[in-house]
Structures are given as C-alpha cells and as structure tokens.
Amino acid sequence: MNIGIVGCGGRMGRMLAKAVLEAEGVALAGGTERAGHDAIGADIGVLADAGPCGLTVSVDTAALFERADAIIDFTVPEATAIHAGFAAKYGAALVAGTTGLDGGQHGALEAAAAFVPVVQAPNMSVGVNLLLGLATQVAAILGADYDIEIVEMHHRHKVDAPSGTALALGHAAATGRGVPLDSVSKRARDGHVGGRPAGEIGFATLRGGDVVGEHTVIFAGDGERVEITHKASSRTVFAQGAVRAAQWTADRPPGLYSMRDVLGLG
C-alpha cells in the first residue's frame, strides 16, 4: 500500500512519515506542505529523522492523492475539508486525525465517504479508544447520581479547546446516559456560577509545556469517585494508529469509519 502524508513538514507530519517509512507492508507515496513552507523541497526521510528516502516535500496535493492508495491527514480543519474532496476525486482512502472540525467540515468527510473509505477519529491511539468504550460503560452503570467531569491537558501549542478527544469522551459518556452531549455540556466555569446542575458533563482544559496528551474522565458520587485516565508520553502512538487505520482501509467499501471500527471495538 502506498501512503501519502499531507502536512508532512510539521511535528506530527514528520512522525507520521517516519511511521510509514518504518512500517512493514507499506511504502511512502510522498508528502506535501502548503506553499511557502520551509520544508518544501526537503527529503521527507531526512525531515522525519529516518534517513534519506529520495522523496521530497511538494506543494502538489492533487498529484499526491492521485498516486497514493491512502492519505493520512493531521492538518487543520479547513485543509482537511479540501483534502476530502481530493480523496473523493482521485479514489484515495483518507485517514483524518484533524481535531476541531465544524459541522460543514464533518460534512465534507461524509460526502467523501460516499466514494472512498474515510477513517475519522480525534485520537488514533489504541488506549484512548479503549477509554472511550469504558466511558460509555461506566456512565451507563453509575447513572445520573454521579457527576461527570472531563479534564484534559496538552502542550502550549495546541490551538483548539477542549481537545477533540475530550469532546469524544463527553459524547461517549453522554451516550452511556442516553442523552445528547450538547444538552448537558458545560465547557467553562468562571465567576459566581451557582451550584452544579444534575446531569451536567463538565470540561476542564489545561495547556502548558510539552504535554503530548492526558485525559481523565471523573465520575464523582457521594462517598466515592471513579476516575479513568489515559496519558500519552509520545506521539508515536497516534502515528502508529494512523498507519494501522490506513492499512485497514485496503479493500474496504466506501464509508465513514472510526478507530473503533479499525480496532474491532464497535
């Protein structure tokens, strides 16, 4: 399988390229960056700290989608929506790990999924996807007597908040309770906010340093508290999960899939 990386000059893009170069049964089809990026023309393998590979960073996105079997995209929401159109046009499967997508950008992925396999997930680590399943189960078992709070921390450079994974955990917990997250979500608290309403799912966002990603779902009841936590110490878990998802798309019919599908969890 030939796998391409869009946004291969960034931190995550370089790690994705390295994961593809080191994985068995796949080959790197190439990588792109936006016009004017410092990485344009550089050897992708050198950028990825994997040694020269003879492929250089390009700005020709269409050409990459045309020659790749699958594309991995951890860019920005606006770019991911555009890339979904390229995937549908050129028949390349798309693995999208971009977070912060709005309704229209999700719609672009759904439209592409009518033509090609699209795997979309806010977090592609195996551990986080297990955490999502546990959040649903625990919320269902403990019921509304337990208050739910979701705490996440990421590095100082992360631009969206709460993280896509935190929101996915909120949706998972809300699903366990049989309610839509939007009806019970509390994104921030400041000032004199009064008592906590029953059934609310709260979010707390922390940013600082070089934290790769930490997520905790707290179920706080009278007399006890249950906490389930995932801590990522390296982005390699996300890159390896994305490559696994790209390989999984081989011979899959068009459709919108999640990492739970890739891992056989749902």
Which residues carry out catalysis? 154, 158
Contacts of residue 36, defined as CB under 8 A and 6 or more positions apart, other chains included, come to: none
- Distance, in Å, from the CA atom of 128 to the CA atom of 178, rounded to the nearest integer, reads 21
Kind and range of the H or E element at 257?
strand 255-257
Query: Strand 2-6 and strand 70-73: pairing?
Result: parallel
Which amino acid is present at 172? A
What is the token pair recorded at 153? Answer: 């921390």
